[in-house]
A = this chain, B = another copy of it.
Amino acid sequence: MEKLTIKDIARLADVSTATVSNYLNGNYSRMSEKTRKRLSDMIRETNYVPSSVARGLATNNNKTIGVSVADITNPFTSTVLSGIYDACGKLGYTVVFTNASSDSQIEIDNVNKLKHQEVSGLIIDPVDAENAIFKTLNNDSTVMIDRQAAAVRIDSIVTDNFNAVSQFIGDMKKSGYADEDLYFISWPLQNVSTRMERYRGFKSATGITDDSHLILVDDVGDNEYFVSQIKQIMNKKRNGKVGFFTMNGRVLLHLLKAMQKLGYRYPDDVGIGSYEDLDWMEIIQPGISCIHQDSFNLGVNAVNTLVHKLQDEKTKHFVPQLIEVPTMIKKRGSY
């Protein structure tokens, strides 16, 4: 079970290490048909696999890409990571994984580690897209996903938040909801692009310009204030039916909890829609109408555009692009 080195198989095949190296790298033109066959056999017999770290040292390119995710616990994120791994595998890249647990400080540490880890490229799903650490990154070897900075200086692949919500709300309106009865529920916007874009889509579709229809929740605590706000809205007793749109699945959970506490039921007493499509949204009754995003492909997309940049030696200094991937509206019974 000893580790074989390039020397061993060179000796066994009675050639130089250089020839072996050439074989390993597909430079078959630099050897006779005969030795090529001999090496092929030798390597298969001995089950030899070249050391990637030695190769990394020599070439200064270890074919690994570093990934920093905001929160691996988020179902969206884990699906993205799944896509990243899949695409990396197909391209022969290894992925070293890093998780910020939604903490900007940890995110800084992670990016620093990754930078010094001598990875070939970086994929970043940022906690805070405006984090100063990202200014130290080079667009030639990194791509960002999901959340974007106000000034895009790194290629960013994001879902089409604005249009998706705008269209979804448009559908609700067609179903009879009036602008003034529609509300957008979200975690504090905090300059997070996904939240802001979705909210922007809401405002655009409803024509509401102030923030009177923006309701905030926290993901911790009892959220009594939130419940009271919902109650107040429901009590207003307008002609039309109230419609709530939640910024993501967890926010929806809070809304459902509140509705339950207040004794309201959808879609009879109120209409509901949400960003994000989680498995339980299809099961609970009635199903939640929502916006589905193809997170797996977002991950695949990210590594493809990254590796493309990595391998295009000449064309350096790419100009940062914002790539928006489409979403899909799932109409179920919640409004």
Q: A95-B96, A95-B97, A96-B96 are in contact. Are A72 and B64 (CB under 8 A)?
A: no
Contact between A96 and B253 (Cβ–Cβ < 8 Å)?
no
The quantity of this chain's copies bound in the complex is 2
What DSSP secondary structure best describes chain A's contact surface? helix
Which residues from B are CB-within-8-Å of A96?
A: 64, 94-97
Q: Among B73, B79, B250, which residue has its beta carbon within 8 angstroms of that of A82? A: B73
Cβ of A99: which chain B residues have Cβ within 8 Å of it? 81-82, 85-86
Please state if A85 and B62 are interface contacts (CB–CB under 8 Å): no
| Residues B53 and A118 in contact, CB atoms below 8 Å apart | yes
Closest to A49 in B: B116
**A78 CB contacts on chain B under 8 angstroms:** 72-73, 75, 77-78
A57 adjacent to B53 (CB under 8 Å): yes
Total interface residues on A, using CB and 8 Å? 44
Whether A54 sits at the interface, judged by CB under 8 Å, is yes
A319 at the interface (CB under 8 A from B): no
Name the residue on B nearest A78 (C-beta).
Answer: B78
Given A53-B56, A53-B62, A256-B283, A101 and B82 contact (CB-CB distance below 8 Å):
yes
B73 touches A118 (CB 8 A): no
Q: How far is the CA of A75 from the CA of B77 in the complex (A)?
A: 11
The answer to whether B72 touches A82, judged by C-beta atoms less than 8 angstroms apart, is: yes
Taking a contact as CB atoms under 8 Å apart, the answer to whether B94 and A113 are in contact is yes
Q: What is the distance, in angstroms, from A124's C-beta to the closest C-beta of chain B?
A: 15
The 5 closest A-B pairs by CB, nearest first: A97-B97, A78-B78, A49-B116, A280-B280, A85-B99
